[in-house]
Chains A and B, each alone.
Chain A
Amino acid sequence: MRATPLKSLASLAAVGLLVTGCGQGLLGGDDGDKAATANDPIVLGMLIPQSGSEAAIGPYMSNAAQLALDEINAKGGVLGRKLELKTADDACDAQSAAAGANKLVTEGVDISVGGYCSGATLPTLPIFGKANIPMIIPAANSQELVDQKLKHVFLINGTGSQQAGAAEKWIAKQGAKSVVLMHDNTSYSKDIALRTKALLDAPGDAEAVLVETVTPKESDYSANITNVLAKKPDFVYWTGYFQEGGLIARQLRQAGYKGSIMVGDGSVSPKLVEIAGAEAAEGVYATMTQTPDTLEGAEGWIAAYKKKYNADPGPYSNQAYDAVRLAAEAVTKAGGTDGAKVISALEAIDGFSMFSGPLKFTPEHTLANGGFQILVVKDGKITLQDSLK
């Protein structure tokens, strides 16, 4: 129930229009490819949420991507060609994402470096696949993205199962006995919650006593929290996004819950602390890959970002930055933008230096090591608690 019938109808109509437009555009695009010369820019496409509930994340990613692009262009570009970034809005919504992907394909994108919400990224896989465009996905990390074993899909964020593994490790380390998992029923969030539950169901101290689903975008979660507290848990793990995460942490504490709270990587944002309030957020754990705050030796990069945008980088800035660098590296190795050659180049990459460590893809096209760590809110700041190494 997230759209009125009228609104759905309107967006359907919009998708229809774009698809029609794309049919003509594709032909134009093909002609353009044949005419591509050494002087044409290499176009990177980035689907990110620029409107809708996750609109706050979009600029973190596109700004960082642009930063990487500018650095590469300043050094003369790739194979003598400049890089160019085209963004499109996926609104964290499947229909908008499909429309946005078609738009990018029409615009002659060579490599896709976007994808934040898994539910919105999933429908774009076949669209880019058909157009022979390799995808380097910086943030979206549901297992469903790689379950289809598509050759053109590469994830440079840790996957859901790696995140669930990290969560289970930390829950065991904390000695928690009864765990409640809360998710918002999106493909990303549910995936982590159910994988964590599967791990907890194996013999061990901790037991998953409840999986609670909430409706995203609401303000009042008291009904869900009453359900959670009825199970008397000592650990609650929220796997959705930060807006609901902040409210849930606050409302759990208001209801008198004293145990541990942990959130997934979609909830790692300074806004989480702000929404929950300093008091309720204090001591909240998070499972997260490297962020600008926990990166070692990234001061120079953060300073460059700040200088350019007059704002701090945020979640997934570093992954978006790396996605662009990786795309440039792959094109260089492949000697051009031919989809199949770029895919082989990506598969062959070994030891390319990224924020998450030296890169080598698994046969599944995911990171061999998710690099998940445990963060904690301490004095209102999100800091590193345990690197789980």
Chain B
Amino acid sequence: MTQLVWNGLFVGSFYALVALGYSMVYGIIKLLNFAHGDLYMLGAFVGFAILGAVGGVSSSMALPLLLVVLLATMVLTGLAGVALERIAYRPLRRAPRLSLLITAVGASFALEYGMRAAAGADPRVYPVRLGGTSVEVLGARLTLQQLVLVGVAVVLMIGLNLLITRTREGRAMRAIALDPRTSSLMGIDVNAVISRTFFLGSALAGAAGVMAGAYYGKIDFLMGFLIGLKAFTAAVIGGIGNIPGTMLGGLLLGLLESFGTFWLGGEWRDVFAFGVLILFLTVRPTGLLGERVTERV
């Protein structure tokens, strides 16, 4: 039982990290950024490229090195997210919502197959891997590395939440989410804030990409697709646009999958998880913590 909970929380923290970007972008410009999962893929490949450039390291240095690579990747993926917004989304800001959505799907394909052209179709394997032997805690097998990864995810999420609730930058984001036009009249540089929002969301996805690469080992150009879908689901469960709700949604989806697999078998897992999603949305369409009056970012 504890094993199931742990499995769910571990996978769920990845979902949550990726879902945050979805949620922030939706909150601020009402865009479902379907290319978001591909920024996760991009992060994994950027981390792979940096590790390849650094060369071989002893396994005792693996964890500190990975943390450095993680930060570098977050910056680079964040910038990629900013570029994506500038090139693909900003020119369409005043276009009908559907045009933006289609552009997002197009951007997703462009990133996927652009990476295929650049890095090839063969899956790549991370040179530094977090393996580790497992220990038993309360009947669940877990490794130190898993704990570190979950720890990093939690730190990033808390940091993001503080940024949004306690800083000027965060206040500007929340203001734009409420009313972009009035915000700009009040002297907020709307374009700059939106760029920074994309930076943050993409950086988090990039972080999740590196962590997945280092832990699972295998990366490929389509790896962002499924997790993008899952993250979207997680964001909707939690209340898209609501930051704590999104985190909760990620963890909940992880748990639903874990328990769904256990109760009904692997072939029914997605039926179970997404069935719950449908049920949930019919009862509570705004998601767990999403309420109409809540400020969205």
Contact = CB atoms under 8 A, between A and B. Distances in A.
A250 interface: yes
Interface stretch (A17-25, A48-56, A95-103, A122-130): A48-56
B105 A10 contact: yes
Contacts of A52: 222
Interface in B92-138: 101-102, 105, 113, 116, 121-123, 125, 129, 131-134
Contact of A217 (B10, B212, B222, B258): B222
Contacts of B10: 220, 222
A93 B171 CA distance: 47
A96 to B, nearest CB: 13
Contacts of B229: 1, 4
Given A217-B226, A271-B123, A224 B218 contact: no
Contacts of A7: 105
Highest count of chain B CB atoms <10 Å: which of A6, A58, A220, A250: A220
Interface residues of B, number: 45
B218 A219 contact: yes
Contact of B269 (A56, A223, A254, A279): A223
A52 B112 CA distance: 10
B285 interface: no
B62 interface: no
A333 B140 CA distance: 65
Contacts of B261: 223-224, 226-227
A214 B266 contact: yes
Contacts of B267: 185, 213
Contact of A277 (B34, B122, B217, B265): B217
B286 interface: no
Contact of A223 (B7, B223, B274): B7
B4 interface: yes
Given A219-B212, A219-B218, A256 B141 contact: yes
A218 interface: yes
A4 B233 CA distance: 11
A2 to B, nearest CB: 7
Nearest to B122: A56
A243 interface: yes
A312 to B, nearest CB: 13
Nearest to A57: B121
B266 A255 contact: no
B183 interface: no
B223 A274 contact: no
Contacts of A255: 134, 141
Contacts of A275: 123, 125, 217-218
A223 B134 contact: no
B90 to A, nearest CB: 21
Contacts of A383: none
Contact of B220 (A6, A214, A227, A243): A243
B11 interface: yes
A247 B227 CA distance: 16
Interface of A: 1-2, 4, 6-7, 10, 50-53, 55-56, 58, 185, 212-215, 217-220, 222-224, 226-227, 243, 246-247, 250, 254-256, 271, 274-275, 277, 279
Given A6-B101, A224-B261, 14 more contacts: A7-B105, A10-B105, A51-B121, A53-B220, A217-B223, A219-B212, A219-B223, A220-B14, A243-B123, A247-B217, A254-B132, A254-B143, A274-B125, A277-B129
Top 8 closest pairs, chain A to chain B, by CB: A55-B121, A213-B267, A223-B261, A213-B266, A219-B216, A222-B7, A56-B122, A274-B125
